[in-house]
Structure 1
């Protein structure tokens, strides 16, 4: 078997820990410690995060979508395919090196989504992008951890509790959708979404885009069409 080769290591700003990019033949992986966060062979559930959320908001003219976490660009690539030519996508990415990877060794894997004129990169904390917005987004897509807890960055916990969920609701336009990716179900998080005023749907998807693999969870939390 071809061994993994370490291509690059980058620190997570403001936190202990580093992200490492590996390559094995045509396969790439991003790891945090012993946890493999992403693998280029397993893009199905990240793509589903975008297609399901964009499907819920429909063909809105000038739709504005916020993606929290660039990763390998799978969610961005799927959102670009699902949205119209007048859409705008803001990608909030905390780690500048991840953006550099998407423009460098992962450019083909990501479909060169960052070259699309509809895309703007915001280097920084997605929680801040959400907190400072009010009625700005038709959809917010979060894939910054392995689930609704701060795995990659402990301070991400605030995204998934009452204050963060309230901020996300306020950042959405009426009828907008908050979509959250997770490696596993979490009943407590489903309850918190409902308590924050969202209409919640939980969807189970496969890691391999219909070809099997692990089952992942996506929450689709809709803001009321009023107020």
Structure 2
């Protein structure tokens, strides 16, 4: 059996330690006893991008905001379907995650970070959301395992009623808010609807066509 090797670790705001772990050619990022992401299970992160971008790919110069860089799967999938005049902004709160993306995880990220359409912002995704007024065509959130988060209490502000209203304000008419989650959450769906989104819930698999754990992607289109 291949050993698990700790490559790096970082303390995060609010307490806790993120760890980057390698096992052969497999990579994982963990928090305490919870695996937040794994390089072998990217299917649902890809689905977040394809489902969230699909309603806006025919727009002229669509502007997309991604909350959470992770291992780059959502960014790369979004770039693969968006037109060449798109702008894709990625907000990543944890500086070490960006360092890992440019270092040991660079092969996973490929040309995602160097694509001319990509803009990388180190900080809370709430900052560009609150600053925008009808500026985005789509917002894709893969932050803290969804509304029932693990790593940071401050992430709740993305998913409560005030955060959802801010997302709606940041979107253009007919814009999309797509949210990744480890589990269903009927209360969150109701909050999205109250904020003005027509919501579709998609059950997606961690390994894509190969199956794996069931995750949720909600796609809300602003009415």
Bucket of the pairwise TM-score, normalised by the shorter protein: over 0.9
Structure 1 outlier segments of 4+, above 2 Å: none
Q: Indicate the residue corresponding to 2:15 in structure 1.
A: 16
Q: Indicate the residue corresponding to 2:70 in structure 1.
A: 71
Q: Indicate the residue corresponding to 1:190 in structure 2.
A: 189
Q: Please give the alpha-carbon distance, in whole angstroms, between the structure 1 residues aligned to 2:139 and 2:40.
A: 25
TM-superposition CA deviations, 1:136-166 (whole Å, max 9, x none): 1100000011121332211110111110000
Matches within 5 A, 1:18-33: 18-33=17-32
Q: Please give the alpha-carbon distance, in whole angstroms, between the structure 1 residues aligned to 2:60 and 2:78.
A: 15
Say whether residues 1:55 and 2:44 are aligned partners.
no
Q: Is the 8 A contact 1:70 1:98 kept in 2?
A: yes
TM-superposition CA deviations, 1:98-154 (whole Å, max 9, x none): 011111111111223101111011110011221111111100000011121332211
TM-superposition CA deviations, 1:142-191 (whole Å, max 9, x none): 00111213322111101111100000000001111000000111111111
| Deviation of the 1:58 alpha carbon | 3.1
TM-score calculated relative to the size of structure 2:
0.98
TM-superposition CA deviations, 1:65-112 (whole Å, max 9, x none): 000000000000100101011100100000111011111111111223
Q: Is the 8 A contact 1:185 1:217 kept in 2?
A: yes
Q: Please give the alpha-carbon distance, in whole angstroms, between the structure 1 residues aligned to 2:197 and 2:212.
A: 30
Q: Indicate the residue corresponding to 2:4 in structure 1.
A: 4
Unaligned runs of 5+ in 1: none
Q: Indicate the residue corresponding to 2:135 in structure 1.
A: 136
Unaligned runs of 5+ in 2: none
| Deviation of the 1:3 alpha carbon | 1.1
> Which secondary structure state, in structure 2, belongs to the residue aligned with residue 71 of structure 1?
coil
Instruction: Kindly tell me the number of residue pairs found equivalent between the two proteins.
Output: 223
